[in-house]
Structure formats: structure tokens, C-alpha cells
Structure 1
């Protein structure tokens, strides 16, 4: 191979490497963003589940509570 062909091949390989490095950095950034979003969504889901548990606990105590504390039926 001539020096020109080797130089051309080297430039092509360096160009490919630069594009691959750029793509790898973009993918790394995207992965970091997804991990952050996932952590936020997990926290949001945990809060929603806690609220549901509290509502269920409140409903069960309302249903098994003292009948004297219940409001009168609507026809009174």
C-alpha cells in the first residue's frame, strides 16, 4: 500500500472512531437521564401507594367504627 492509501485509511478510521465516541457519550447521557427519570417515577409510585394504603386504612376504620359517629341517612 502506498503512503497516500495508508493516510486515507487512517483518516477514515479516526473519523469512525470520533463518531463512535460521540455516539457513546450521547448514549451515556441518555442512560443517565433515564436512570434519573426512573428514580423519580419510583418515588412517585411509592407515594401513590402510600396514599392508597392510607385511604384504605381510613375506609376500613370508617366502616368498622362506632355507628353513633356516623352521620344520619340522607332522608332525615
Structure 2
């Protein structure tokens, strides 16, 4: 294989790898945004559940109750 052919093959490989890196970077950025949204939603759900449980004064929180088969 000549030097020119090897250089061309390496340049093609670098171009493909650069494209792949750019695509993966976009995917990671999208996933980071999705994780942030999910985290905020989870926080809101946990806060709403804490309020709901605190409104039921005198009752045992569901997380602290034994399952009915025990």
C-alpha cells in the first residue's frame, strides 16, 4: 500500500471518527438535559408525597407500614 493510499485511508477514518464523536457528544448533551428534567420531576413528586403524608397526621407513612402479608 502506497503512502498516499495509507494517508487517504487514515484521513477517511479520522473523518468517520470525528463524526461519531460529534454524534455521541450530542447524545450525551440530550441525555444530560433529560436527566435534569427527570431529577426535577422526582424532586417535585417527593415533595408532594411528603406533603401528602404530613397531612395524614396520626397515620403511619406508607413507607413505614408493614405489607399486609406480614
Query: By the TM > 0.5 criterion, same fold?
Result: yes
Q: What are structure 1's unaligned runs of at least 5 residues? A: 65-76
For 1:73, the equivalent position in structure 2 comes to none
For 1:27, the equivalent position in structure 2 comes to 24
Greater Cα radius of gyration, structure 1 or 2: 1
Q: Which runs of 4+ in 1 moved over 3 A?
A: none
Query: Does 1:11 pair with 2:32?
Result: no
Of residues 39, 43, 62 in structure 1, which corresponds to 2:40? 43
Work out the CA distance in 2 between the residues paired with 1:33 and 1:59.
Answer: 39
CA shift for structure 1 position 45: 0.1
Question: TM-score normalized by structure 1?
Answer: 0.73
Question: TM-score normalized by structure 2?
Answer: 0.79
For 1:70, the equivalent position in structure 2 comes to none
Higher relative contact order (CA 8 A, sep 6+): 2
What number of residue pairs does the alignment pair up? 59
